[in-house]
Amino acid sequence: MQFRRVLLLIALVVSVAQLALAQTASERLEAVRKDPLRLRQFLEAMPKGGDLHNHLSGDVYAESFMQWAANDGFCIDDDKLAIVAKCEGTLVPAATALTSPLYQQMLDALSMRQFKGTMESGHDHFFATFSKFGAASRAHAADMMVEAVQRFGSENVDYLETIYAPDRGGASRLGFELTKGADFKSMRDQLLAGTSMKAVIADARKTLDDAEAAVKTQLKCGTPDAMAGCRVDVRIVDEVHRGIPREALFAELVVGFELASIDPRVVGINPVMPEDGYVSMTTFNDLMQMFAYLRPLYPNIRISTHAGELAPGLVPPEGLRFHIRDSVMIAKAERIGHGVDIARETNAPELLRTMAKRGVAVEICLTSNDVILGVRGKDHPLPMYLRNHVPVALASDDPGVSRIDLTNEFQRAVEEFGLTYAELKKLVRNSIEYSFLAGESLFVNHDYAKRACTASCDAFAEKNAKARVQLKLEKRLAEFEK
């Protein structure tokens, strides 16, 4: 009798174990949907494809900037709560600040950590952080890359397109040598004829070389002890700054297009800086015309634009009506970053249909939209994009500043919008399908049920970088779903 009970107990245990193994990934998600901690574990383990909207300096946590400042002998301006390169007067050495109450104040000033919003808005505090840690970030491009790829690799991200200007200000300085008010052709001819631009591009490529070498060395890539970040494929989207003078912005664009033309690591261009800034708002049409002029000259270079990172009250109603539309129609952007104000764009239904038809993807940054714009939950356009079949990919934007990671964005998508596993999986696949990776897609016409290759796709993937990353993702998803 006792033996029979033991057998029944064993059978029951085996049955429960088999049931657990038999659960699909969709069933596992539903089982933990209302349990935040278990949901986090599920989503962290889930392969998440790529992050297509990510700022390299915004990847870094404030603790790293403070340590680098101390290592470099920098100081802290304790009035402005900013890192400065030159130690003068009563400034506090960063090394001293590490072990004083100032350290905690600096962590809060350099990020959204413990932000309360009593004296300033989330918008203002967020964007102010970049100038506060700028002295440290400028000197540590390689270290920033190492930190970013290792963190992404550890949460099962396979691909990263990070927005960064490897020229480190050299391109904009070229703009001050241009004839003020000159037409686009004259300015481009002047830039191409000089030797200064070649030096700026060479310096930018060396910055990328150094970052690549640092990742390989510090993460022990190619060795038995290789760390998680080694499996992350990285590409650069060159940032240009729409809040600077016209000639400087144009010089940045030309340098970016030229750099992307000769260096395969640089796969696109993206204008940055607060969209609601005075210069950004009043010269938006100038930026569109620059893209309209330059794009035919560089037809193979891809474009993503920060557009629609606006909310009612932040700008007048008129300012919410055309940034996404013009980016799609005039600049011919292939992706839109944020796209929060889509519902207020002129003839939004027609614009959404156009984006869906053209395959213009939207990089959705839920936490960033919340802390900067105060847009979340039912006020966020994510469901609108999904209903209208516009391709969407979740992105982290500035995870170091926001104190998050990409898994956090997936969790918000589940908890705030009720996304299913099938919907998450589509967003994951979108993140590679609509990436700027070179080569053909593994899929036909964005249809994930139709592959461009038959039988084994290894040979096809070997010839196409995009297909290679997609095939890797498909294998990882299949393993996760088992």
Q: With the C-alpha atoms ordered 354, 355, 357, 360, is the resulting torsion angle positive or negative?
A: positive
One domain for residues 84 and 179 = no
Q: Do 468 and 479 lie in a common domain?
A: yes
Q: Is residue 450 a contact partner of residue 457, using CB atoms and an 8 Å limit? A: no
Residue 247 lies in a domain: yes
In a domain, 41, yes or no: no
Q: Do 331 and 182 reside in the same domain of the chain?
A: yes
Q: What is the pLDDT along the chain (482 residues), one digit of tens a residue?
A: 454 554 445 444 444 443 444 489 999 999 999 999 999 999 999 999 999 999 999 999 999 999 999 999 999 999 999 999 999 999 999 999 999 999 999 999 999 999 998 889 999 999 999 999 999 999 999 999 999 999 999 999 999 999 999 999 999 999 999 999 999 999 999 999 999 999 999 999 999 999 999 999 999 999 999 999 999 999 999 999 999 999 999 999 999 999 999 999 999 999 999 999 999 999 999 999 999 999 999 999 999 999 999 999 999 999 999 999 999 999 999 999 999 999 999 999 999 999 999 999 999 999 999 999 999 999 999 999 999 999 999 999 999 999 999 999 999 999 999 999 999 999 999 999 999 999 999 999 999 999 999 878 999 999 999 999 999 999 999 999 98
> What is the pLDDT, as a whole number, of residue 20?
47
Contacts of 246-249 with C-beta under 8 Å, sequence gap 24+, read: 246/283, 246/286, 247/175, 247/176, 247/178, 247/179, 247/180, 247/182, 247/187, 248/172, 248/173, 248/174, 248/175, 248/176, 249/172, 249/175, 249/287, 249/290
Give residue 22's pLDDT.
46
362 lies in some domain: yes
Same domain for 472 and 400: no
Do 417 and 295 lie in one domain? The reply is yes
Compute the distance between CA of residue 132 and CA of residue 136 in angstroms, rounded to an integer: 9
Number of domains in the chain: 3
Compute the distance between CA of residue 387 and CA of residue 455 in angstroms, rounded to an integer: 34
Same domain, residue pair 172 and 316: yes
Q: Which residue, 107, 138, 169, sits at the end of a domain?
A: 138
Residues 234 and 155 in one domain: yes
Q: Which of 82, 112, 138 is a domain's end point?
A: 138
Whether residue 271 sits in one domain with residue 170: yes
75 and 133 both lie in a single domain: yes
What's the pLDDT score for residue 4? 53
Let me know whether 411 and 477 are in one domain: no
Confidence (pLDDT) at 14: 40
Q: For residue 48, give the nearest of 387, 360, 398, 435 by alpha carbon.
A: 435
User: 401: domain range?
Assistant: 50-56+141-435
Residue 275 lies in a domain: yes
In a domain, 404, yes or no: yes
- Phi, psi at 123, each rounded to 5°: -55, -50
Handedness of CA 101, 107, 109, 113 (dihedral sign): negative
Residue 71's pLDDT is what?
A: 98
Q: What is the pTM of this model?
A: 0.93
CATH of the domain at 351: 3.20.20.140
Asked whether residue 369 falls in the same domain as residue 452, the answer is: no
Q: Does any domain span residue 257?
A: yes
Residue 241 lies in a domain: yes
Residue 7 lies in a domain: no
Q: Are residues 134 and 146 in the same domain?
A: no
